[in-house]
Protein backbone atom coordinates (compact mmCIF):
# COMPACT_ATOMS: atom_id res chain seq x y z
CA UNK A 1 0.00 0.00 0.00
CA UNK A 2 1.39 3.38 -1.02
CA UNK A 3 0.44 6.98 -0.30
CA UNK A 4 1.98 10.44 -0.36
CA UNK A 5 4.33 10.74 2.64
CA UNK A 6 4.12 14.52 2.46
CA UNK A 7 0.33 14.59 2.94
CA UNK A 8 -0.85 14.44 6.55
CA UNK A 9 -4.38 13.72 5.33
CA UNK A 10 -3.30 10.81 3.10
CA UNK A 11 -1.21 9.20 5.86
CA UNK A 12 -3.99 9.67 8.45
CA UNK A 13 -6.51 8.13 6.04
CA UNK A 14 -4.22 5.13 5.46
CA UNK A 15 -3.81 4.69 9.25
CA UNK A 16 -7.56 4.76 9.74
CA UNK A 17 -8.33 2.41 6.85
CA UNK A 18 -5.59 -0.07 7.77
CA UNK A 19 -6.49 0.10 11.49
CA UNK A 20 -2.91 0.95 12.41
CA UNK A 21 -3.15 3.82 14.89
CA UNK A 22 0.47 4.38 15.96
CA UNK A 23 2.97 1.86 14.54
CA UNK A 24 5.45 3.72 12.28
CA UNK A 25 5.19 3.45 8.51
CA UNK A 26 8.17 2.99 6.18
CA UNK A 27 8.98 5.75 3.71
CA UNK A 28 9.97 4.86 0.15
CA UNK A 29 12.49 7.34 -1.24
CA UNK A 30 13.18 7.73 -4.97
CA UNK A 31 16.97 7.40 -4.62
CA UNK A 32 19.85 7.94 -2.20
CA UNK A 33 20.05 11.65 -2.99
CA UNK A 34 16.42 12.14 -1.97
CA UNK A 35 17.02 10.09 1.19
CA UNK A 36 19.94 12.31 2.18
CA UNK A 37 17.76 15.43 2.04
CA UNK A 38 15.60 13.99 4.84
CA UNK A 39 17.57 11.39 6.83
CA UNK A 40 21.08 10.50 7.91
CA UNK A 41 22.57 7.85 5.60
CA UNK A 42 25.88 6.28 6.67
CA UNK A 43 28.21 4.35 4.39
CA UNK A 44 27.03 1.00 5.71
CA UNK A 45 23.38 2.05 5.32
CA UNK A 46 24.00 3.08 1.71
CA UNK A 47 25.64 -0.28 1.02
CA UNK A 48 22.67 -2.14 2.56
CA UNK A 49 20.06 -0.07 0.69
CA UNK A 50 21.75 -1.08 -2.57
CA UNK A 51 22.19 -4.74 -1.55
CA UNK A 52 20.01 -7.63 -2.72
CA UNK A 53 18.38 -7.72 0.74
CA UNK A 54 17.57 -3.97 0.68
CA UNK A 55 15.92 -3.91 4.12
CA UNK A 56 13.95 -1.07 5.62
CA UNK A 57 16.53 0.82 7.67
CA UNK A 58 15.48 2.88 10.66
CA UNK A 59 17.32 6.18 10.30
CA UNK A 60 17.44 9.48 12.16
CA UNK A 61 15.59 12.37 10.53
CA UNK A 62 17.96 15.26 9.87
CA UNK A 63 15.53 17.48 7.95
CA UNK A 64 11.78 16.90 8.29
CA UNK A 65 11.13 19.07 5.24
CA UNK A 66 7.69 18.36 3.83
CA UNK A 67 7.36 14.86 5.37
CA UNK A 68 4.22 14.31 7.45
CA UNK A 69 6.54 13.04 10.18
CA UNK A 70 4.06 13.10 13.09
CA UNK A 71 1.67 10.91 11.10
CA UNK A 72 4.45 8.66 9.70
CA UNK A 73 6.18 7.86 12.99
CA UNK A 74 4.25 9.47 15.86
CA UNK A 75 6.46 10.89 18.62
CA UNK A 76 9.71 9.73 17.00
CA UNK A 77 12.61 11.42 15.23
CA UNK A 78 13.34 8.40 13.05
CA UNK A 79 11.77 6.82 9.98
CA UNK A 80 12.05 3.41 8.43
CA UNK A 81 13.60 4.27 5.06
CA UNK A 82 13.12 2.13 1.96
CA UNK A 83 15.03 2.09 -1.29
CA UNK A 84 13.05 1.03 -4.40
CA UNK A 85 14.36 -2.56 -4.64
CA UNK A 86 12.08 -3.74 -7.46
CA UNK A 87 11.34 -2.47 -10.95
CA UNK A 88 7.75 -1.62 -10.05
CA UNK A 89 8.76 0.37 -6.96
CA UNK A 90 11.45 2.15 -8.97
CA UNK A 91 8.95 3.17 -11.69
CA UNK A 92 6.41 4.37 -9.12
CA UNK A 93 9.04 6.33 -7.15
CA UNK A 94 10.49 7.93 -10.27
CA UNK A 95 7.04 8.86 -11.57
CA UNK A 96 5.65 10.24 -8.29
CA UNK A 97 8.98 11.89 -7.35
CA UNK A 98 7.99 12.63 -3.72
CA UNK A 99 8.57 10.28 -0.75
CA UNK A 100 5.79 7.73 -0.33
CA UNK A 101 4.54 5.61 2.52
CA UNK A 102 5.13 1.98 1.55
CA UNK A 103 3.48 -0.56 3.79
CA UNK A 104 2.46 -4.18 3.43
CA UNK A 105 -0.72 -5.06 1.56
CA UNK A 106 -2.68 -6.36 4.52
CA UNK A 107 -4.90 -5.27 7.35
CA UNK A 108 -3.21 -4.76 10.72
CA UNK A 109 -2.36 -8.18 12.15
CA UNK A 110 -3.41 -10.15 9.05
CA UNK A 111 -1.11 -12.00 6.62
CA UNK A 112 0.25 -10.15 3.59
CA UNK A 113 -2.02 -10.54 0.56
CA UNK A 114 -0.24 -12.55 -2.12
CA UNK A 115 -2.74 -12.76 -4.96
CA UNK A 116 -4.92 -10.44 -7.00
CA UNK A 117 -8.06 -12.03 -5.57
CA UNK A 118 -6.87 -11.83 -1.94
CA UNK A 119 -5.77 -8.21 -2.38
CA UNK A 120 -8.99 -7.00 -3.96
CA UNK A 121 -11.11 -8.83 -1.40
CA UNK A 122 -9.19 -7.94 1.78
CA UNK A 123 -8.16 -4.41 0.78
CA UNK A 124 -11.29 -3.21 -1.05
CA UNK A 125 -12.00 -0.69 1.74
CA UNK A 126 -8.34 0.31 2.14
CA UNK A 127 -6.93 0.90 -1.33
CA UNK A 128 -8.32 3.43 -3.82
CA UNK A 129 -6.61 1.72 -6.76
CA UNK A 130 -4.84 -1.58 -7.48
CA UNK A 131 -1.83 -2.15 -9.70
CA UNK A 132 -1.47 -5.83 -10.64
CA UNK A 133 0.98 -7.77 -12.75
CA UNK A 134 1.22 -11.34 -13.97
CA UNK A 135 4.01 -12.44 -11.61
CA UNK A 136 2.96 -14.88 -8.94
CA UNK A 137 4.13 -14.47 -5.35
CA UNK A 138 5.67 -17.72 -4.16
CA UNK A 139 6.53 -16.66 -0.60
CA UNK A 140 4.73 -13.59 0.70
CA UNK A 141 6.97 -11.79 3.19
CA UNK A 142 7.15 -8.40 4.82
CA UNK A 143 10.29 -6.32 4.40
CA UNK A 144 13.11 -6.90 6.84
CA UNK A 145 13.62 -3.98 9.24
CA UNK A 146 17.04 -3.17 10.69
CA UNK A 147 18.87 -0.35 12.43
CA UNK A 148 22.59 0.34 12.65
CA UNK A 149 24.13 1.64 15.86
CA UNK A 150 25.60 5.11 15.40
CA UNK A 151 29.05 4.44 16.86
CA UNK A 152 30.00 0.99 15.54
CA UNK A 153 27.41 0.37 12.81
CA UNK A 154 26.29 -2.77 14.65
CA UNK A 155 23.20 -4.25 12.93
CA UNK A 156 20.10 -4.64 15.10
CA UNK A 157 17.36 -6.67 13.43
CA UNK A 158 13.81 -5.60 14.31
CA UNK A 159 12.13 -7.90 11.79
CA UNK A 160 13.85 -10.75 9.96
CA UNK A 161 11.90 -11.27 6.74
CA UNK A 162 12.50 -10.68 2.99
CA UNK A 163 16.21 -11.05 2.26
CA UNK A 164 17.16 -12.17 5.78
CA UNK A 165 14.93 -15.22 6.20
CA UNK A 166 15.15 -18.13 6.24
CA UNK A 167 18.07 -17.93 8.63
CA UNK A 168 20.83 -20.51 8.70
CA UNK A 169 23.36 -21.41 11.36
CA UNK A 170 26.74 -22.24 9.88
CA UNK A 171 28.94 -25.09 11.07
CA UNK A 172 31.15 -23.20 13.55
CA UNK A 173 28.21 -21.42 15.15
CA UNK A 174 26.17 -24.63 15.23
CA UNK A 175 29.09 -26.56 16.77
CA UNK A 176 29.34 -23.96 19.56
CA UNK A 177 25.62 -24.16 20.28
CA UNK A 178 25.50 -27.96 20.01
CA UNK A 179 28.82 -29.34 21.33
CA UNK A 180 27.43 -32.88 21.63
CA UNK A 181 26.84 -32.95 17.88
CA UNK A 182 23.22 -34.00 18.12
CA UNK A 183 21.20 -33.75 14.94
CA UNK A 184 18.70 -30.93 15.17
CA UNK A 185 16.13 -29.26 12.92
CA UNK A 186 14.36 -26.03 13.88
CA UNK A 187 11.36 -24.68 11.99
CA UNK A 188 8.76 -22.02 12.59
CA UNK A 189 8.22 -18.33 13.17
CA UNK A 190 10.58 -16.30 15.32
CA UNK A 191 8.35 -13.39 16.31
CA UNK A 192 5.04 -14.03 14.52
Helix (H) or strand (E) segment spanning residue 96 = helix 87-96
What's the pLDDT score for residue 176? Answer: 81
> What sign does the CA torsion over 5, 7, 12, 18 have?
negative
- Provide the whole-model pTM: 0.86
Reported as a single tens digit per residue, the pLDDT across 100-133 is: 999 999 988 888 998 999 999 999 999 999 998 8
Q: pLDDT at position 107, please?
A: 86
CA 71 to each of CA 27, 75, 79, 90, 132: distance values in angstroms, whole numbers, following the listed order:
12, 9, 11, 24, 28
pLDDT at residue 137 in the model:
83
Return the DSSP state at 78: E
Q: How many angstroms separate the CA atoms of 153 and 130, rounded?
A: 38
Choice between 134 and 50, residue whose per-residue pLDDT is larger: 50
**DSSP-assigned beta bridge partners for residue 37:** none
Amino acid sequence: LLCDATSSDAVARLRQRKNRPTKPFAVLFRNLEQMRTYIEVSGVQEEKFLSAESPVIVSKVQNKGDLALEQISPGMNTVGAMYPYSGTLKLLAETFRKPMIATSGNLHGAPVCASTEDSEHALAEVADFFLHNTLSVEHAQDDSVVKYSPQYSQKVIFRRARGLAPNYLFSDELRNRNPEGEKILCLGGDLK
